[in-house]
């Protein structure tokens, strides 16, 4: 079937859109990542529905421990809760369905007792579901014979445990090579492959050490190396970093993300720590009392929690680490081509009532100018805008976390520019937008706290400076009208945030854009581009 990249993927089947030319997955409403508009034209013609088997699917999984599991499931399916069926058994998992795509980090997050471990044990066949099924790369675990199950475990799924489970009398290298030994790979070959993976996890020089000579973090790295060496596509990680102290844990999280990018494995990670979930997960399933109460991207869960329970959970999340520049940026309102010169920049500032403007050359961002610098240059008779552009203005990429944006924002009062790989300006992040995003401003709040005074010249000076060099006032306004109108706009530090968490926003990016759109006055106060 031929379709466009804009077609909605069929939710019921595991179909995704692939470009037949480049084999890249298509987005829901755009070209594939990294493609140019021209590519998109080709792709829209060439794409077709191609069935790509997900790495793993859980279908209506139930697990009840106790006297009468089948009866409990029947009642659960009719809407009963965990406590309703307590007389029949413990409903550890209730109707859990999710799909994990290849190369994805999928996190299952929930408090103790919510059912995470039971789910993961059903995924690799250690626990038999009371109802429902698991498909690993399209193969049903429920229908598998014991031999097939062993084969699935050996070839498709490996597991990393919280407590390392290393063999104490074997060296690090032999531990890392263990899965290959089980698979019957020859000694030299398995040691070579294990050594390669040990180098990737930073233990290349500890291959001959014994496990008890290593720190906890190092031992967990060996556990990870062992799972990676096995070469299976899917890694199940059950609270794998929970026993590590916070700094090492952070390091391991970062390394896991890097390894995943490099090796492209599919990872299903269990944790009770939402910050960890948010940092690692491409998608997160939040569990409560045996049920998945929300399944979404970290940004979706943060900006659009499904219920009060999730909302309460996300209150304490380190937003700076989860949200990205692209998710909170605003469209760049004030831009000028460098060819427009200093006067052109000043006109933009006067008309838009902003204190700085982004300067573009061939649609690429080359820096920003402030109102002060522009007024000074006009008075000095300078016309070349390039000569006053501050190229030292910080820029970030759309995928950079807000932690990076915060650092840059300290360096400059001018809104941070968000640029793509080719230097094109995608948007800007005024400081007030940053504060609103980091502060999880309550949707009921109608005021954003006062921020530091912006560096701007008095309003009247724009008009006077332009008038002095023979420029007329803005269309339809007498000279100085901007000045008199300005204080209402520029001096205001108030910003309504009513739209910030619009529950109907179709995507989290749109929701984030709404946050931004809701603070125009304050961004102007910033001298906002
Ligand atoms: N073998 C079992 N027999 C009886 N009940 C069980 C068994 N395994 C788990 N349970 C119960 O099922 C529920 C879910 O347990 P599970 O271990 O899956 O939760 P969890 O989210 O992984 O918790 P934790 O983070 O503490 O490991 C709990 O009430 C638990 O007591």
pLDDT for position 60: 95
Question: Can you tell me the distance from the alpha carbon of 210 to that of 170, in angstroms, rounded to the nearest whole number?
Answer: 6
Q: Are the CB atoms for 108 and 47 separated by under 8 Å?
A: no
Which tokens is 185 given? 């790979």
Across the range 230-257, mean pLDDT stands at: 85
| Cβ atoms of residues 383 and 342 within 8 Å | yes
What pLDDT, on the 0 to 100 scale, is given for residue 472?
Answer: 56
pLDDT at 4: 36
Give the count of alpha carbons within 13 A of 433, CB side only: 39
Supply the pLDDT for residue 202.
85
pLDDT of 286: 95
Q: How far is CA 153 from CA 179, 259, 328, 361, in A?
A: 11, 21, 42, 56
- C-alpha distances (whole Å) from 346 to each of 239, 263, 481, 522 are 57, 51, 15, 20
264: left (phi over 0), alpha (psi -120 to 50) or beta: left
Collapsed DSSP state (helix, strand, coil) of residue 65? strand
Residue by residue, DSSP assigns 469-494 as TTPPPSTTS-TTHHHHHHHHHHS---
User: What is the best residue among 66, 83, 117 to mutate for testing ligand 1's pocket, by most ligand atoms within 8 Å of CB?
Assistant: 117
The per-residue pLDDT for range 171-182, each reduced to its tens digit, is 999 999 988 888
Closest CA to 239 of 260, 259, 223, 261: 223
pLDDT at 458: 63
Instruction: For CA atoms 486, 488, 491, 492, give the dihedral sign.
Output: negative
Helices 459-468 & 371-379 angle (0-180, nearest 10): 30
Percent of the chain with pLDDT over 90: 28
423 or 246, higher pLDDT: 423
CATH annotation of 325-525: 3.10.580.10
Least confident of 231-245, 415-429, 451-465, 486-500: 486-500
Q: Give 77 or 48, the one with higher predicted confidence.
A: 77
Angle, helices 459-468 vs 341-352, to 10°: value is 140
Torsion angle in degrees (nearest 10) through CA of 78, 81, 84, 87? 90
Task: Indicate the average pLDDT of the chain.
Answer: 75
- Ramachandran angles phi, psi of 21, nearest 5°: -75, -50
Coil vs helix vs strand at 508: helix
Distance of CA 242 to the CA centre of its chain: 22
- pLDDT of amino acid 429: 87
pLDDT of residue 7: 38
**Whose structure tokens read 């279908």?**
59
Mean pLDDT, range 207-221, rounded to an integer: 88
Helix (H) or strand (E) holding 327: helix 325-328
Q: Is 104 a residue whose pLDDT tops 70?
A: yes
pLDDT at 42 (0 to 100): 44
Query: Which residue did the predictor score with more confidence, 256 or 497?
Result: 256
Task: Indicate if the pLDDT at residue 235 is higher than 80.
Answer: yes
The token pair that represents 274 in the structure block: 């939402």
**Cβ–Cβ < 8 Å for 491, 454:** no
By alpha-carbon position, which residue is closest to atom 2 of ligand 1?
65
Q: Which residues pair with 418 in a beta bridge?
A: 396, 427
Give me the mean pLDDT over the 375-389 stretch: 87
pLDDT of 433 > 80? The answer is no
Residues with CB under 6 A from ligand 1: 65, 90, 92, 110, 112-118, 272
Give Cα 308 to chain centroid, integer Å.
Answer: 22
Query: Do the bridges between strand 356-361 and strand 335-337 make them parallel or antiparallel, or are there none, so unpaired?
Result: parallel
Q: Which atom of ligand 1 sits closest to the CA of residue 115?
A: 18
For 58-67, what is each residue's pLDDT tens digit?
999 999 999 9
- Pairwise CA distance, residues 116 & 161, whole Å: 13
Condensed to tens digits (0 to 9), the pLDDT of residues 38-49 reads: 444 444 444 444
ipTM surpasses 0.85: yes
Q: pLDDT digits over 247-291, tens only?
A: 878 888 888 888 888 888 899 999 999 889 988 999 999 999 999
Residue 52's pLDDT is: 66
Say which range, 77-81, 97-101, 200-204, has the weakest mean pLDDT: 200-204
User: Ligand 1 centroid to 269 CA: how many Å?
Assistant: 17
Domain boundaries, the chain: 15-51, 171-231, 325-525
- Report residue 371: phi and psi, to 5°: -60, -40
**pLDDT at position 221:** 86
The residue whose C-alpha atom lies closest to atom 28 belonging to ligand 1 is: 113
Q: Which atom of ligand 1 is found nearest the CA of 239?
A: 25
Q: Whose CA is nearest to atom 26 of ligand 1?
A: 112
Q: How many A from CA of 77 to the centre of ligand 1? A: 20
The stretch 75-80 carries a mean pLDDT of 92
């Amino acid at each position: 079937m031929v379709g466009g990249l804009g077609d909605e993927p069929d939710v019921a089947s595991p179909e995704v859109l692939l470009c037949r030319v480049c084999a890249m997955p298509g987005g829901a409403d755009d070209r594939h990542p990294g493609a140019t508009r021209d590519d998109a034209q080709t792709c829209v013609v060439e794409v077709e529905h191609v069935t790509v088997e997900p790495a793993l699917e859980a279908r209506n999984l139930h697990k009840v421990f106790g006297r009468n599991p089948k009866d409990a499931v029947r009642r659960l399916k009719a809407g009963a809760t965990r406590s309703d069926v307590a007389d029949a058994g413990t409903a550890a998992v209730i109707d859990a369905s999710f799909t994990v795509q290849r190369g994805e980090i999928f996190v299952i997050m929930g408090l103790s007792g919510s059912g995470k471990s039971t789910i993961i044990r059903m995924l690799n066949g250690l626990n038999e579901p009371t109802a429902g099924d698991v498909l690993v790369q399209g193969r049903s675990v429920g229908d598998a014979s014991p031999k097939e199950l062993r084969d699935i475990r050996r070839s498709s799924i490996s597991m990393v445990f919280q407590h390392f489970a290393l063999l104490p009398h074997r060296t690090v290298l032999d531990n890392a090579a263990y899965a290959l030994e089980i698979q019957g790979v020859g000694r030299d070959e398995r040691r070579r492959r294990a050594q390669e993976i040990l180098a990737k996890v930073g233990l290349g020089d500890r291959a001959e050490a014994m496990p008890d000579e290593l720190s906890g973090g190092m031992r967990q790295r060996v556990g990870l190396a062992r799972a990676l060496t096995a070469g299976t596509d899917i890694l199940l990680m059950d609270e794998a970093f929970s026993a590590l102290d916070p700094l090492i844990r952070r390091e391991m999280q970062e390394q896991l993300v890097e390894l995943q990018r490099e090796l492209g494995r599919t990872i299903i990670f269990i944790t009770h720590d939402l910050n960890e979930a948010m940092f690692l997960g491409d998608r997160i399933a939040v569990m409560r009392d045996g049920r998945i109460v929300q399944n979404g991207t970290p940004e979706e869960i943060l900006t659009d929690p499904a219920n009060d329970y999730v909302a309460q959970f996300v209150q304490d999340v380190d937003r700076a680490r989860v949200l990205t520049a692209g998710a909170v940026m605003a469209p760049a309102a004030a831009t000028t081509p460098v060819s427009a010169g200093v006067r052109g920049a000043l006109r933009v500032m006067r008309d838009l009532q902003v204190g700085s403007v982004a300067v573009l050359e061939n649609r690429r961002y080359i820096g920003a100018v402030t109102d002060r610098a522009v007024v000074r240059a006009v008075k000095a008779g300078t016309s070349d805008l390039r000569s006053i552009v501050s190229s030292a203005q910080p820029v970030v990429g759309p995928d950079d976390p807000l932690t990076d944006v915060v650092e840059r924002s300290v360096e400059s009062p001018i809104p941070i520019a968000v640029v793509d790989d080719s230097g094109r300006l995608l948007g800007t992040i005024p400081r007030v937008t940053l504060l609103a995003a980091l502060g999880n401003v309550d949707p009921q709040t109608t005021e954003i706290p006062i921020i530091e005074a912006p560096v701007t010249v008095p309003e009247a000076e724009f008009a006077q400076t332009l008038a002095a060099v023979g420029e007329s006032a803005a269309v339809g306004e007498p000279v100085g009208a901007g000045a008199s109108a300005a204080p209402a706009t520029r001096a205001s530090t108030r910003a309504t945030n009513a739209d910030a968490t619009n529950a109907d926003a179709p995507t989290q990016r749109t929701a984030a854009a709404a946050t931004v759109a809701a603070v125009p006055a304050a961004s102007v106060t910033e001298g906002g581009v």
